[in-house]
Homo-oligomer: A and B are copies of this chain.
Amino acid sequence: MREVAIIGVGMTKFGKHEETLLEMFGDAVEEALLDAKVSPKEIEAVFFGNCLGGFEEGQMNISPFGASVLGLKDIPTTRFECACATATVAIRYASLSVASGCHDIVLAGGTEKTLVMGTPFATRTFAMASDSRYEGFSGITFPGAFAMMAMLYSKQYGIPLKTLKERMAMIAVKNHRNGARNPKAHFRKEITIDDVYNSMMVADPLQLYDCCPFTDGASAVIITTLEKAKKLCPKPVVVAGTGQGSAGSLLDQKDLPRLRAREVAAREAYKQAGLTPKDIDVCELHDCFTIAEIIASEGLGFFDHGKGSEAVEKGETDIGGKIPINPSGGLKARGHPIGATGAAQVYTIVKQLRKEAGDFQVDGAKVGMVDTLGGDFSVVCNLILKRGW
């Protein structure tokens, strides 16, 4: 397998967009192409992420149109859909296609336009990422599933719910603080712990500010061989390891606060990269709810199981901390356009490693990790990125 590197990244500002799915994608790709200094003609394949185009714009089979918008003709274009992990999976396959010698330069990314649906319909369509046979009609929603996870976490590790709630609120505060420094974030407003406590209850113990928003946006990544990358740009970012894991419905999950799919995915990514959690300098992970950030920080091996919330209280996940988590603001503040989220996480890590993250830069970040969770725990995709210079 050949070594693979990212040479260009782009993303729209996340938030409310009037542009269409493909217009947003075009904007993100244009930025990525300019960043990589390659012309559209050089792109050999498109790995396209989108979850709900059928419901958002009556558009299935979106990948060829995504390519044609950029004047990319004839080349293989494929739509990937793995719920919230969609774009990360697309980038993983794009990387494998280059690693294997199948292609030399490819484009991967995603686009999503959830706000056009309005909250009730968006909630219903998002819920289709859970197991429709057993979950939806029994009344389990995503906030409900993560609320149960929080309750179970509190009980399993003997952390009083009051303490856990306060630490979860600290995550919301941290991610909003980070998002306020990120010009592309959906929410650029700092909040306080009291704001979290005073927000609407969604699913006990999760309040509104424990939940990430619906968001519109697109993001894109240009990938080539490390050999070629070194000739094309001064700061290629190596895709050092990738991992992907799966699990069935909630019924199949034996130990909810420890997600098998993540452990499998992370293990594979670390193995491929020849690295351990201690080597990671910065991480963008899947904080769809504040409890999800705690669970992920443990699953990726940054903290022992049951210790993730304590680490938040100690500031270890702050931008200046031991392992800065979600310096972009995460799903919570940068926003969560599902099929585009993974590529936005990659965008952030690439900017961090290149020291181009501006006000939310993590000093001296050389190795970064991306973690994206799809559905209620059924898909996890991890990428480990490192400096290639």
Contacts and interface: CB of A to CB of B under 8 A. Distances in A.
Interface of A: 1, 20, 22, 46, 51-55, 57-61, 63-65, 67-69, 73-83, 89, 93, 96-97, 99-102, 125, 127-133, 136, 244-249, 252, 260-261, 264, 374-375, 378-379
Given A57-B132, A125-B54, A79 B80 contact: yes
A64 B378 contact: yes
B129 A247 contact: no
Nearest to A68: B248
Contacts of A65: 131, 133, 248-249, 378
A136 B58 contact: yes
How many copies the complex holds: the figure is: 2
Nearest to A46: B246
B247 A64 contact: yes
A58 B95 CA distance: 31
B74 A247 contact: yes
Nearest to A63: B82
A102 B54 CA distance: 32
30 contacts: A1-B101, A54-B128, A58-B136, A59-B133, A60-B125, A60-B128, A60-B129, A61-B375, A61-B379, A63-B246, A65-B131, A65-B133, A67-B246, A68-B246, A73-B247, A73-B248, A73-B260, A74-B245, A74-B247, A76-B244, A76-B245, A77-B82, A77-B379, A78-B80, A79-B82, A80-B80, A81-B81, A96-B96, A96-B102, A100-B102
Contacts of A73: 246-248, 252, 260
Secondary structure at the A interface, as helix, strand, loop or mixed, is: mixed
A96 B100 contact: yes
Contact of A75 (B78, B245, B252): B245
Q: Which of A73, A76, A128 has the most CB of B within 10 A?
A: A76
A1 B100 contact: yes
Contacts of A57: 132
A128 B52 CA distance: 12
A313 B116 CA distance: 52
A54 B53 CA distance: 11
A252 to B, nearest CB: 6
Contacts of A80: 78-80
B61 A374 contact: yes
Nearest to A265: B76
The 7 closest A-B pairs by CB, nearest first: A68-B248, A100-B100, A61-B83, A76-B244, A64-B378, A60-B128, A61-B129
A68 B136 contact: no
A264 B83 CA distance: 31
A1 B96 CA distance: 13
Contacts of A20: 133
A79 B63 CA distance: 14
A93 B74 contact: no
Given A52-B60, A64-B248, 4 more contacts: A65-B133, A74-B261, A76-B245, A96-B102
A130 B61 CA distance: 7
Nearest to A23: B133
Given A60-B52, A79-B80, A74 B260 contact: yes
B68 A22 contact: no
Contacts of A93: 78, 93
Given A60-B83, A101-B1, A75 B128 contact: no
A205 to B, nearest CB: 26
A57 B137 CA distance: 12
Contacts of A79: 80-82
